[in-house]
Structure 1
Amino acid sequence: MALRLPLLILILITGLVAGCSDILPLDRTVDKRTRDASYPDLIPVEEIRAQATTPQITPDTADTLDRRSAGLRARAARLKGGVVDPGTQDRMQSGVSD
């Protein structure tokens, strides 16, 4: 209970200090042409959907994905092997000797 009051006061002070900070002027980062541009026209969603391109999923998509996943699995299997061959590993374990 004794810790809650100082923690609450700290949170309130942090909020007050953060509220007193200056907001960065964003107008300097936007050029005049963009600032003076008019809002875009709102159009019905049906018109947007009509202009959309056809779906790129075709009957060959499943076969293509199967081939890609098989290739990735084969690559992952090749990468699972050790990086250092056993002979070099033995030499490394024995350490450096004069």
Structure 2
Amino acid sequence: MRPLVIALLCLTTACTQFPELDATLDQATLDAPYPDLVPLGPLLTQADSMAQSGQTSAAALASFDSRLARLRAQANRLRGPVVDRVTRARMARGINIAALQ
């Protein structure tokens, strides 16, 4: 019974109509080149020079600083192990096939 339900669910999702996302983009966007990846150092230097010359408001700088702090905190959280120590030990023990029967 369970395989039949799973098969029916798979079949019904296969019939789903997806929106035409490519039709929402104009030709200029489709023909545009990918943006260049640039080092962060020169961008930060440019931002500092803009701030010192008065081209950037104090509110904008505060907003940038808070966003930068949030992004750094998120990056620090992502640097840890993906699988914690307890789960890794459980995975190393493997699956007890006898318990499944």
TM-score with structure 2 setting the length: 0.37
- Structure with more relative contact order (C-alpha pairs < 8 Å, separation 6 or more): 2
Looking at secondary structure, tell me which structure has more helix per residue. 2
Larger of the two Rg values belongs to structure? 1
TM-score with structure 1 setting the length: 0.38
